[in-house]
Every structure is written in C-alpha cells, then in structure tokens.
Structure 1
C-alpha cells in the first residue's frame, strides 16, 4: 500500500515537472520575443515593461476570471481545463524571463551594436549572433526563480476552485489537495520530502549545468586586459596611448563576440540584405499590443464586469471592507520584509566576509 502510494507520488511529480519544463520552454520563447522587442523598440518597451512590472506582482488567483470565461467555458472539456492550468503556470513563469531578456539586450555594449550596423546584418543574424547569446545568461539566471514561483502556486494552478466545483489536472498540486482533504498528513510529509529531492535533482542535473555554461556569454566589462593594467601603472603610456588602446580593444572584443573570424559564421560583406526596419518593427509591435489590449478588454467585458461594478464598486460597505483587507495585506508584507531584511542581510554579509577571508587565506 505504501509502495503504491509512493509510486503515485513519483508519477504526480513527474507529470508536474514535465508540465512546468515544457511551459518553461514556451515562456522562454515568449520572453525572447517581448524582451528583445522592448529593448530595441522604444514604443514597445514603454508599454510592455510597465505592464510586466505590474503583472509580476499580481497573484495567480487574480487570473481566475480570465481562465473561467475563455478556457473552461469557451473551450470546455479536458482540453479547456489543461489550457487553463497551463495558462496559470505560465503567469508564474514568464515575468522574470521577460525582464531578464530586456535587461540583457538593453546592456549590450555600444560597440557591438555599432558593428552590427556597419555590416548591415539582417534581423535574423542579429538575433542569432548577438541578441540570443547576450540574453542566455539572464534567461538561465531567471529559470530557478521562475521554477520556484511555479511550484509555489502549483496547488492553485493544478486545481482551480470555481464556486462549488473544482477543475484540475493530476499532479503534485491535486495530489496534495487530495491528501489534505482526506487528513492524510503523513502522506503529505512524504510527498514534501520526495518533492524536495526532485527539486534538488533538477537543480544539480539541469539548472546548475546551464548556469555554468552561461558564464561564457557574459559581457564582463570590469576585467581589464594586461595592456590596460600596464597603462594604468605607466602615466606616460596612459597619456599617449590610452585612446588608441581603448578603440582597438573595443573592436577586437566586438569581432570575437560576433564570431566574424569563422568562415561558417556571418559574412562581412557590405551587400544589403533583407532586414526589418525600425519603422516596420514599430508597426508590428503596435499591432501585437493592440491585439492583446483588445483581447483583454473583451475578456473583461464578457466576464460580467458591468454587473460586478454595480454590485461591488458602488457599495460603500464593500469598499470599506476591501480597504481594510488591503491594509492588512500590506502590513503583513511590511512585517515579512522587515524580518527578512533583519535576518538575511546580516547572514549574507557574514557569508561574504567568511568567503573573502577563506579566499585570502588560500591565496
């Protein structure tokens, strides 16, 4: 009996982790598109990034009206429930990834961008040889926080309570809710232990190798070349040759990062290639943003916003209750933040100093 229960737990964890990783890949694809668009097209960045910042703070449960109307009612059946669950998990994954790609592309060195313009690279060549390598480190760095966020909301994502009925799919969240409803607290403890082991395996077998492999894609502008260090020690060389060395080093770094030295890489031919102009990028991004804005308005309209407005937002008693509830939530957040600040910051400082002394001793 216990063995069968453990097998069910392993199967649930396998399904949940597979679902999360597949949706992680989809989220990375969406994040690459929106992040690069926000970094390279000003009008898109002015719209997408503020919206992303706001939605990042919105809890998963706030998206229930959308998934209720669009997926469960409009699509219906098991496919609608699966799409609803996938949508909720994506809302826990995607925001960190979008901001990470945006930050990475926004901080590409100016010399690299100038070299791309000089050689008139097409949009797809820029994407392959500059934007994606530049974003890789930030994408990998945000995978673990996004993965943790998805697991944090996994019960609300895999089991969607609407009224007196629950919609859901089989996984860790639904299994944990089943154990809790049946007062099987021992099984919940075993499930938590197995889940912790599965998370550790995911980190050491998947995430940690990705982190190690992403280090070579970082633009490390703080490391000085030996020539630059010698110039700093010699004022005469620094005065006469500083500007020349700076320009040459920047150009060499640009050529190395874009792989122009390989014959199989991007051609340095000055011929004009097919490329998407900034004007068309603005038009395309505007159309996409208008589409999603219209979709959001439609979903809000069909979900009965007018009736809800009359029933709740014009009710003084409800507004007072909502204000007090919001104040309590904000107070809890402030208390947790202060406790975290008082405990984690000293611990981080202690760990950094201890690591620094150990490094000095080993040196």
Structure 2
C-alpha cells in the first residue's frame, strides 16, 4: 500500500471514528435527557457534570482515565479506547445539552396529549421526545463533527508521562508527516481531508434542512419529496412532525368519545405514580454517580500528605487569579461570537444562495485541526497585527484562535433556531411591517432564546480548548505565542515540566468554578427558556 492510499484510509478511519462516537452521544443523550426532566436531583448532577466535563481541557483533566486505558488495558486496544474517549469528550457535551434543552422545552399541549393517551415510556420517546429533539440534535450535529476533527490531532496522538501513543487516523498521520518534514504529503493530506469533510458536511447540511422541515412545528422550510415505490413507503412514513404525529394518534384514539372516555382523576394518579418512579430512578442514578465522585475525591484526599496540601493551597490564589484572566478572554470570545453569529445567521437563513456557499466554507474551515491551519493565518497576519497592536497582538491571536475553535456552536444554534421559526411568525412580521430591529427584539431573539442558550453554553465551555492551545505555543513560525497570565498556560507549563500534581489541582479548582457557573447560569437560563421562550407554544396559543 502506497502512502497516498494510506492517507485516504486514515482520513476515512478518523471520519468513521467521529461518527460512531456521535451516534453513541445521541443515544446516551436521549436516556440521560429523559431521566433529567423526571428527576430534579439527577438534573442538577447531570447539568453540573456536563458543564465541567465540557469545559475542562481533556488532556489535563483526565490523566487518571488515560492511565487506566493505557496501563490497565494496554496495547493497541487501550490506545484506541483512550483516543475514542478523548474524541467522545469533544463531541458529546453539546449534543447532550441540546437534547436536554429540547426535552426541557416540549410544549405543554403536547405533554398533555401523550398523558391523555396513556403512552408508555417507549411510545413517549418514539412519538414525541425523540422527534422533538431532532432539530436540536441537527443544530449540534455539524458542530460536533467539526469539533471532533478540531481535536483529532490531540486525540490520535497523545502523551501520558514521557510516552507517546498513536492510533491509526489522519491526525496521527499528519503529525508523523510534519515531524518527518514531508510537507508535500502534508498538503496532500489536507486536500484529502478537505474533500472528505466537504462531502460529509454537505450530506449533514442536507440532513439538517430535512430535519428542521420535518420535525419542527410548522416550519417555513418545505420538506423535499422524492418518488419512492409504494411498497417502500412504510419504511419512510413514521415520525413526521411531532405535532402531526400527536394529532394522528389523538384522532385515532379519541375518534369515538363514547367508547373511549378519559377518567381524569385516575389519569392524574397514574401520572404522579409514574413520575415518582422516574424521580426515584433518577435520584438513585444521580446519587450513584455522585457517590463515585465523592469516593474518588476522598481517596485522593487521604493519600495527600500535609506538606503537599500546604504546597497546593499556597498556589491556589495564584491559580484563581490566572483563571480570572481566562474568564475575561472567554467573555470577550462569547460576546464577539454572539454578535457575529446572530446577524450572520439571520442573513444566511433568509438568503439561500449566500447560505449554500457560506455554510459550506465555515463548516470545512471549522473541521480542520487548529494546529494545522492557524500557523498559516499567524504567518500571514503577524507583521500587520504587531504593527498596529504591538504588545496586544498576543492577546489578539489567542482570542482569534479561541473564536475559531468555538464560535460555530453559537452560529449553528442560532442559524437552526431562525430556520425553525414557524411560518406564522414570519407572517406576523410581514403583516405588521416590522423593521429589522423590531424583528430582532420582538420575534427573532425571543424565538431563538432556547437555541441561543444551548449554543452560548457550548461556545463558552468549548473556548477553553482554543485557549489551551493558544496561550502557550512555542516556536510558532519562529515566534513564541505566550500570554503573561492565564490558567491554560499554567496547566500547559506544569504538564510539560512533569508537575502533574499542581496541574491536576488547578484543573480541580477550575472544575469547582465551572459547576458554580452551571448552577447559576445554565440551569437558570434553561428554566427561563422553558417558562417564557418556547416559540412552539405560540402556535397552540393562537
């Protein structure tokens, strides 16, 4: 097998690895999402852990897990499981958050319909929750794919201690080609990667359009129809929009009221009994997860010496100060991402020709691993940026890398949210002749608020990966990209120096701050979205 065939196979292997883990993320997201809406205790634990695991850079926060895969399982299987775990952590969190947000904001009339029909768990998921979550999954599917490829270089090639581990894939192959200075083969690999990514994203984009048209409530996007043989129709007919599906079932079950009377009192008793079971199950699962975490923390605490505790505590204030600098950077990235994403998503959602080109370009660029494409941008703009910004040029490039690594979460969420706005809302805007800013204030922003919170949360939590790469990047085209203050820089330096204890302690403090953010921001915003900003309920209210 020649090197060119090997490059093609490696690209396909990495693509298959990412898609397999995305599918696993969706299935587990449905399970955890349903339990979370039935159990407040599990919901709090689930959202908190989701925030922590998404935010903390994978390489620094999970050394124990990597050591488990490598040294307890060992061999190529251990390395493959480690790579899969790292990529899984790159693609799963926004999908889980999107599914949770969808389950949390199912319109009340739909919930009442499935309760009146006394559906079981499987029927509820099949006929309502899963179809209703598909637009949210679609909104996060492309970002998850691009994020998986963004981290492919650090997932397929990683270091535990002083040992380097590799698995077969385009990420590890590109690293080997760069180390051997085979630049022509590197460029060929990038071309093949770009072709595969472009084809994949085109297919995903068509699925996104179809998902929004088919599973959103009365979306303005038409569902494409294809001529299919009649004997195959039964394979394509199940699960149209959640509203239509519920309507069909309601008509079938309630067509003869004299024969099918609903005893409201008994129905309420059955509902409370069913919810109690799910609350107990959720509490058990949540407490089990929490107990494992407490046991792990306790085991570490009792094995830590007094001298080491003093050393860690003395560095805690320094760690928190550097974390504050990073939160300022993340806030700037989030604000810039929101402003650009909102106006760009609105424009592209209404201009199909521009959308067809821009979405494809953004998705392909976002899927390229940052260590590959960012040095090109850095080399092309370094002289100009330094000339105008001087010492602030370092911060500019770090923020740019953070923006490129995460803005598409919010962009895709807002783009899908705008495309999912029911046609009736667009008619209202036209009938009242609303101005651009009135549309934004009264319709667009409130309607897309659940999408916005989901995308904004993922944007904030994913920005840390870009910061970890950008805050301490030595010998980048002959220059060192290094900030003065930043927690991600400290973790990088301590990891390279072998000071794993201090790096792990910094990640632990980081995790505490992140879970506080999850409780005070994400959960409250999700609850607010459910109470006031479910645009689908406007259809029923009308």
TM-score, normalized by length of structure 2? 0.52
- Greater C-alpha radius of gyration: 1
Does 119-128 or 36-45 show the bigger shift? 36-45
The equivalent of 2:277 in structure 1 is 280
Is 1:212 paired with 2:224? no
Displacement of 1:255: 6.5
Query: Is the CA contact (8 Å cut-off) linking 2:30 and 2:99 kept in structure 1?
Result: yes
The equivalent of 1:239 in structure 2 is none
Does 186-195 or 78-87 show the bigger shift? 186-195
Of the three residues 344, 347, 350, the one matched with 1:348 is 344
The equivalent of 1:259 in structure 2 is 248
Over residues 86-113 of structure 1, what are the superposed CA-to-partner deviations in whole Å (9 max), with x where a residue is unaligned?
Answer: 1111111111111111111222111111
Of the three residues 285, 290, 297, the one matched with 2:287 is 290
* 3-state SS in 2 of match to 1:126: helix
Q: After TM superposition, list the pairs within 5 Å mapping 1:239-258 onto structure 2.
A: 256-258=245-247
Instruction: Show structure 1 runs of 5+ residues with no match.
Output: 224-252
Query: Is the CA contact (8 Å cut-off) linking 1:72 and 1:81 kept in structure 2?
Result: yes
Displacement of 1:9: 1.2
Query: Is the CA contact (8 Å cut-off) linking 1:160 and 1:167 kept in structure 2?
Result: yes
Does 44-53 or 98-107 show the bigger shift? 44-53
Change (3 A) 1:182 1:327: farther
Is 1:171 paired with 2:151? no
Over residues 319-358 of structure 1, what are the superposed CA-to-partner deviations in whole Å (9 max), with x where a residue is unaligned?
Answer: 466456545544554565566577x3697289469949x9
Displacement of 1:123: 1.2
Change (3 A) 1:42 1:350: closer
The equivalent of 1:227 in structure 2 is none
* Structure-2 separation of matches of 1:130 and 1:169: 40
Displacement of 1:173: 1.5
Change (3 A) 1:352 1:255: closer
Is 1:49 paired with 2:47? yes
* Structure-2 separation of matches of 1:206 and 1:345: 20
Query: Is the CA contact (8 Å cut-off) linking 2:213 and 2:219 kept in structure 1?
Result: no
Query: Is the CA contact (8 Å cut-off) linking 2:10 and 2:169 kept in structure 1?
Result: yes
Change (3 A) 1:36 1:219: farther
* Structure-2 separation of matches of 1:259 and 1:17: 39
Counting matched residue pairs gives 325
The equivalent of 2:78 in structure 1 is 80
* 3-state SS in 2 of match to 1:219: coil
Higher relative contact order (CA 8 A, sep 6+): 2
Is 1:10 paired with 2:22? no
Query: Is the CA contact (8 Å cut-off) linking 1:66 and 1:300 kept in structure 2?
Result: no
Displacement of 1:312: 7.1
Q: After TM superposition, list the pairs within 5 Å mapping 1:1-363 onto structure 2.
A: 4-220=2-218, 256-260=245-249, 277-298=274-295, 306-307=303-304, 311=308, 314-315=311-312, 318-319=315-316, 322-323=319-320, 325-326=322-323, 329-330=326-327, 332-333=329-330, 336=333, 344=340, 348=344, 351=347, 355=351
Displacement of 1:193: 2.1
* Structure-2 separation of matches of 1:324 and 1:178: 38
TM-score, normalized by length of structure 1? 0.75
* Structure-2 separation of matches of 1:46 and 1:157: 29
- Superposition RMSD on alpha carbons, in Å? 3.9
Does 276-285 or 24-33 show the bigger shift? 276-285
Does 153-162 or 330-339 show the bigger shift? 330-339
Change (3 A) 1:309 1:187: farther
